[in-house]
Amino acid sequence: MLLTHATLARMTGGYGLIPDAAVVLDGDRILWAGPMSDLPRDHRGEAFDCGGRLVTPGLIDCHTHAVHAGHRAAEFELRLNGASYAEVAQAGGGILSTVRATRAASGADLLASALPRIDQMIASGATTIEVKSGYGLTVEDELKMLRAARQIGAERPVTIRTTHLAAHAIPPEYQGKANAYIAEVAIPSLRAAQAEGLVDAVDAFCETIAFSLADLQPLFAEARALGLPVKLHAEQLTDQSGAAFAAGHGALSADHLEYLSSGGIAAMAAAGTVAVILPGAFYTLRETQAPPIAALRAAGVPMAVATDLNPGSSPLASLTMAMNMACTLFRMTPEEALLGTTAHAARALGLADRGRIAPGLRADLCLWDADHPAELSYRIGATPLHARIFGGRLDR
């Protein structure tokens, strides 16, 4: 396939803009990208004329909880009547109400309820989506979630990366016994998931209302023993030094980071850990402390942007909306926001074969009804996707 007359944002370094560009695809790979005037003669075959439209790498949502049962509109209403996120969680609501619904659902139910959300994400330009477990909290229910997540990739034209997040919340039967939960559920479910080929990375929620670093130490040691990369929900509501702990384990990413300290930033910079910025949760929870974007930028920490799609703190399925929020709420630049859903999101997932437009990388591309990449962040809630190419195939 040959794309002609594209406004190409290669996302190499910065935008990597080429105004009147061509892209040559060979099967599911990019063979060549450059100015129309340099297009090699032997590639002048049948062409798809982009008509000057913006072409970017396919977007990558590197942090979602897209598989879950039910919704939490009632909790949304409670919070609007004055309850805090922590109060809702302590009253047995919050994550645990989704756990009850997810335990009661079959694998087929979970898949069926996830697909419409996945379709919305695809419609906003996603070609790779990470999906976490973490609402089962028993060995069998965590495996059920991961199997449903894997199945999405067989049902839709999208790459699914699965993350084991059994250390998301402490279930009622283990209240006050976090270390027993890690030993009896989190670690055994991780071993079983790895044996079944269901897991690409290991995540946990480090927070006063969830797990401490001491609780997580044996889980991260097990991840290392299994050869799996780690990530961490860190510093979302309080500073627990989670980001530095994650960086010390060579984490792919530390995510949320509203309360990240300068020590955490230095540790992430030294380890090459990506900062995953999740403005949907900040917005939904009406948080007031923004993550330290300027300090992350100054330290050279790569920043990704994701939806955090989940039924409690971020019922958001649009990556372009997340980019808009990252710019307006957190003062990221539109160029940083787009790097955050392409090149840096790929890095947060440990994927070297996508997120930029360059020879040899996967042919995952978005064609937009836009003529400058800043438009993707600038419009509020728009979905200017014109067409999407997944693995070399045009699918809309």
Can residue 159 be called a binding residue for ligand DI6 (CB under 6 A)?
Answer: no
Residue 59: both structure tokens together:
């977007």
Residue 11: both structure tokens together:
């996302």
Can residue 142 be called a binding residue for Fe ion (CB under 5 A)?
Answer: no
Nearer to Fe ion, 61 or 308 (CB): 308
Residues 6+ apart with CB under 8 A from 266: 299
The DSSP string of 190-204 is: HHHHHHTT--SEEEE
CA–CA–CA angle 137, 314, 200 (5° rounding): 50
Nearer to Fe ion, 220 or 282 (CB): 282
If DSSP codes are grouped into helix, strand and coil, which group holds residue 373? coil
Can residue 308 be called a binding residue for Fe ion (CB under 5 A)?
Answer: yes
Can residue 67 be called a binding residue for ligand DI6 (CB under 6 A)?
Answer: no
Can residue 64 be called a binding residue for ligand DI6 (CB under 6 A)?
Answer: no
Nearer to ligand DI6, 56 or 236 (CB): 236
Can residue 130 be called a binding residue for Fe ion (CB under 5 A)?
Answer: no
Can residue 94 be called a binding residue for ligand DI6 (CB under 6 A)?
Answer: yes
Residues 6+ apart with CB under 8 A from 145: 67, 68, 102, 110, 133, 134, 135, 136
CA distance 162 to 197: 10
Closest residue to ligand DI6, based on beta-carbon distance: 312
CB 149 within 8 A of CB 113: no
Residue 281 binding result from Fe ion, ligand DI6, none, given CB thresholds of 5 to 8 Å by partner type: ligand DI6
Residue 189 binding result from ligand DI6, Fe ion, none, given CB thresholds of 5 to 8 Å by partner type: none
Can residue 281 be called a binding residue for ligand DI6 (CB under 6 A)?
Answer: yes
Residue 32: both structure tokens together:
């060549």
CA distance 224 to 245: 14
Can residue 95 be called a binding residue for ligand DI6 (CB under 6 A)?
Answer: yes
- Min CB(165)–ligand DI6 separation in Å: 8
Binding mask 225-254 for ligand DI6 (x = CB under 6 A): --------x--x------------------
Binding residues vs ligand DI6 (CB under 6 A)? 94-95, 98, 168, 205, 233, 236, 281, 308, 310-313
